[in-house]
Structure 1
Amino acid sequence: MYDETTQRLLKLMKDTFGDHFKEYYDGDPDQIPTFNLPCLIVDQTNDETERGSWGEDDVTETVMIKAVYNKADDYSDNVDPLNLTSRKLRRIVGARNTATGDYEPDTIKYALRAMGTQGLTALATNLSVQYGLVPRLEGDVGILTQEAHVQFTIRYSVDVKPAP
């Protein structure tokens, strides 16, 4: 059975993180209510299809996983200055075991590298991660989120059958 790439990756992220994230989105909703933060977004940003050999198309999809946290969480009186939102994001993306140096199993990098090929033909070799602050709307009010954007490509072939 065929599932869209974003749906397969959402399932992988839900299996990895469970209720750590309050909501999982297929596509960026732009407006995210604060009661749904932190959330995780899987979005396909590009699709390139080339004619391959032997009646196949070679498809390369560019996918972005966004971990989104409420920056306001850093503004409380009892916040730990050594565990601000930016550190939480870095850890959710690629925390490593202090003894072995391996990715921790509850990270995006671990999920993509260790389990990401389940049901996917080929996960590309490069992951690009960008961190930053993003102004978003919640209704008519602006909120500031701190986000990690993990971008990568997935490559696969599709059989093209001639028309009858």
Structure 2
Amino acid sequence: MFSQYEDNVQRILHLMKDTFGDTFKTYYDGDPEAIPVFNLPAIVVTQTSDTTTSDSWQQDEVEDTLTVKIILNKRDDFDNDKVNPLNMTERKIRNFVAERDQDTGLYLPRTVKGAIRTMALEGITAIAGTMNVEYGINPRISGEGLADLTAEGHVTFTISYPVDIPVAS
């Protein structure tokens, strides 16, 4: 499934593809800012920081901060100029991020939180000790065929992993 040493953005991007499949039209490694309407809905995975701490002898502990962005076209809320007030893009995003089983209360497997909480941890010390989710409307670069207004959910979390340091000869 994942390589233990795979770039964490790629690891999470592959996890999102495995989780959602063709539910999303495009999966981006990094935010392109200008997204064509025909590429929505989309998932973007970005890395916002990397903190490296010298741990035990000949080993670093690295903590990557990643964000998974669920991006929907806000214009999809309008069907023939009518709004469906019970099924807006914001609700859809909340479901993609953290919908739970109505009987058990568990995250559904086809959610960002469900996938992250059940992913293989090979090569990882810790993942998502804390997840921060922000929701909102984002004005994107508009133009011919480009989305001008998107509804988005951003899930930010950390992945910690060790990196061995070779002995100098």
Q: TM-score, normalised on structure 1? A: 0.93
Residue-pair matches, total = 164
Does 1:75 pair with 2:88?
no
Range 117-126 or range 85-94, more displaced: 117-126
Q: Check 1:124–1:142 CA distance in 2 against 1; reply closer, same or farther (3 A cut).
A: closer
Query: Which residues of 2 match residues 77-156 of structure 1 at below 5 A?
Result: 77=80, 79-115=83-119, 117=121, 120-139=124-143, 143-156=148-161
| Cα distance in 1 between the residues matched to 2:67 and 2:140 | 18
Counterpart of 2:162?
157
| Cα distance in 2 between the residues matched to 1:149 and 1:129 | 5
AA paired with 2:36?
A: P
Tell me the secondary structure at the aligned position of residue 140 of structure 2.
Answer: strand
Structure 2 gaps, min length 5: none
Q: Check 1:139–1:121 CA distance in 2 against 1; reply closer, same or farther (3 A cut).
A: farther
| Cα distance in 2 between the residues matched to 1:14 and 1:4 | 15
Contact 1:124 1:154 in 2 (8 A): yes
Counterpart of 2:48?
45
**Percent same amino acid among aligned pairs?**
50
Q: Check 1:54–1:119 CA distance in 2 against 1; reply closer, same or farther (3 A cut).
A: closer
AA paired with 2:39?
A: N
AA paired with 2:23?
A: H
AA paired with 2:87?
A: N
Q: Check 1:136–1:109 CA distance in 2 against 1; reply closer, same or farther (3 A cut).
A: same
Shift, 1:118, TM fit: 5.0
AA paired with 1:64?
A: T
Does 1:33 pair with 2:36?
yes
| Cα distance in 1 between the residues matched to 2:24 and 2:161 | 29
| Cα distance in 2 between the residues matched to 1:19 and 1:58 | 35
Counterpart of 1:63?
66
Structure 1 gaps, min length 5: none
| Cα distance in 2 between the residues matched to 1:15 and 1:34 | 23
Q: TM-score, normalised on structure 2? A: 0.90
Give the CA RMSD over aligned residues.
1.7
Contact 2:98 2:107 in 1 (8 A): yes
Contact 2:58 2:164 in 1 (8 A): yes
